[in-house]
Amino acid sequence: MSKKKGLSMEEKRQRLNSVFFEKCDFLSLKEVEKFGAKEKGLSPMQIKEILQSLVDDDMVKCEKIGTSNYYWSFPSEALDSRKRKLAEVEAEVQSSAAKILTINSQLSSMLQGREESCERDSLIQAIAVKEASVAKLQKEVSRYADCDPEVLKRKCLDAATALDAANRWTDNIFAVLKWCADHSPGLSQTDLMGQLGIPVDLDYLA
């Protein structure tokens, strides 16, 4: 008989957050621990840590009244908070996509001239950083998959556009390398990549 799989951190967060939606009230830490353990099956030893992570992500509000902290999270506030977060991530993706296009355009122009320069190396490094940023933002979007479907749809389209742009310019780089190799007898694409400082493992994004 297989061992029952435990809950992930995100599942525990969702369970504890649902306590606030169901109670629609201001709760003390002791009340949160009681409801979380009794009604949601969470370990009392973990509830404080889970609650703090929700507060850190602005999914649960916390205010000190007198000597005690009180917590709350109403459905309407949670939705507004997630919409704001999605809007921020969407703006970051658009900004990153625009920067990738600009950097790749500059890199393409430099490859045609085949001049050695520190600026070209910096651009190559910048592309890698921005592509990693896009990947991170795409992962961030997946965390909010249960939010506004229309906002999420637009976000996914923007991420796909950024990915297509990165791959299109990668394709342009390979085309320039092939043209240079075809018109330079005895010089392979691999040689050209070495001379131009282009990583030999340069490849399309999946």
The Cα 128–Cα 104 span in angstroms is 11
**DSSP character string of 184-202:** STT--HHHHHHHHT--TT-
- Sign for the CA dihedral angle at 98, 99, 102, 104 comes to negative
- Give the DSSP letter of residue 27: E
Q: Model confidence over 27-48: pLDDT tens digits?
A: 999 999 999 989 889 998 999 9
pTM > 0.85: yes or no: no
The two three-digit tokens of residue 69, written as one number: 């902290």
pLDDT score of 127 more than 70:
yes
Q: Give the pLDDT score at 31.
A: 93
Give the pLDDT band (50/70/90) at residue 77.
low
176 class by beta-carbon count within 10 Å (0-12 exposed, 13-18 middle, 19+ buried)? buried
**What mean pLDDT is reported for the chain?**
77
Residue type, 72: W
Q: Model confidence over 131-171: pLDDT tens digits?
A: 888 888 877 766 665 565 666 567 667 767 777 777 787 77
The two three-digit tokens of residue 54, written as one number: 């929700």
Calculate mean pLDDT across residues 89-116: 70
**Closest by Cα among 86, 95, 73 to 19:** 73
**Closest by Cα among 169, 179, 154, 177 to 205:** 169
The Cα 27–Cα 171 span in angstroms is 56
The Cα 107–Cα 120 span in angstroms is 7
